[in-house]
Amino acid sequence: MPVLHATPCRLHAMILRLTSPLVSLSCWRMLLAASLVVSLLGCGNPVATVPPAPVASFPGNNDPPLLIDAAWLRDQRTRPDVDIRILDLSPPRDYAEGHVPGAIHAWWQDAMDPYYPVYGVVLANRNDPNARERYIDQPGITSDTIVVAYDNDNNRYAARLVWTLRYFGHEEAAVLDGGLAAWRGLGGPISRDSDRAPDVRPMEIQAQAGFIIGTRELQSRLADPSVVVFDARSEEEARDDLNGSLRIGRIPGAVSVPWTATLRDDAGRLKAPDDLMALLVAAGVTPDREVVIYARFGVESAQPWLVLSLLGYPNVRVYDQGWAEWASKPELPIAPLASDAAGTPNPTGTTT
């Protein structure tokens, strides 16, 4: 069977394509379980090492920082007066093969709400009053903990974890630029021990304003010239209809800047601030406008959120339901993909 020859990453993509983004709760849980099993296999061939390099001088990388380099982690991780929790969001097999010493394995899927009908939406306390608190407690995070996250998939899951923690009110959370490859490039030691999180007192969660926008509000503001809708999907992601369950297109007026265009290498290190700003301004994503980011699912929106935050954009929100929810609602308008010729009908027949 062809599936036997598929890579774990392709298997994960197949699972998503075979399941509608709007599913029953039981199906959602089956999807999540299958996703977790696939993740156990590992995903792709992560970059082994990259030369050490300091994080560029981003105007929004203040204290506490959003992005740190391997040298910062080397100098801080063993200080007795600093409570640092390093979280590795790579698949378990990759974590077992080597990670930063002291790093705890964390599931990026744990931040998803299993009760919401769209895949990938951030945890809520609607059906489980303690869901967010458990998410914070499991890796041993307290209000004094400095969290450093990385993964082996261009740091998009690490960015999602940092976005989630900051949305929940924990500011001390940063992405390790270049992840394990940068740590190796610095000559940092590698551990194969399975580290466990310490027991901690529960931390109070207070969701912060200015992180999320809902479907109704977004629809009501599509004609607002002070708002720019940022489509962060890659071309492949934008043309994936999840086995016919989604319309192909974009939110009307959205500008396309694929999240992968912000990366300078396969380790997930970001391009220079000037290059990133030029890329965004050329697309109409300017700091004087409110920016709404969406992708296929909420998970992928965090990486461009990280970029804009580092550049000092003051008003950035994530449409967490993503294209998966927007495209599944026939009453919501869509436009052709920006890459399609003007006026050329897309597969849904929509031309505006």
The span from the CA of 320 to the CA of 111, in Å, is 12
Give pLDDT, residue 22: 52
Q: Which mean pLDDT values do the consecutive 10-residue runs of the chain (352 residues) have?
A: 34 44 48 45 63 94 97 94 95 95 93 92 91 92 96 95 97 97 96 89 90 98 98 95 90 97 94 98 98 95 98 98 95 91 40 34
Torsion of CA 17, 22, 317, 234, to 10 degrees: 20
- HSE-CB at 175 with a 13 A cutoff on CA atoms is 34
Largest CA distance in the chain: 62
Beta bridge partner(s), residue 67: 175
Is there a contact between 239 and 248 (Cβ–Cβ < 8 Å)?
A: yes
The span from the CA of 209 to the CA of 317, in Å, is 9
Give pLDDT, residue 108: 87
Beta strands at 316-318 and 290-294: parallel, antiparallel or unpaired: parallel
| Sign of the C-alpha dihedral computed for residues 118, 121, 126 and 128 taken in this order | positive
Give pLDDT, residue 45: 53
Two tokens at 267?
């380790």
Entry pTM: 0.86
Give pLDDT, residue 347: 37
List of residues 6+ apart from 300 with CB closer than 8 A: 156, 232, 233, 237, 259, 322
The span from the CA of 192 to the CA of 344, in Å, is 53
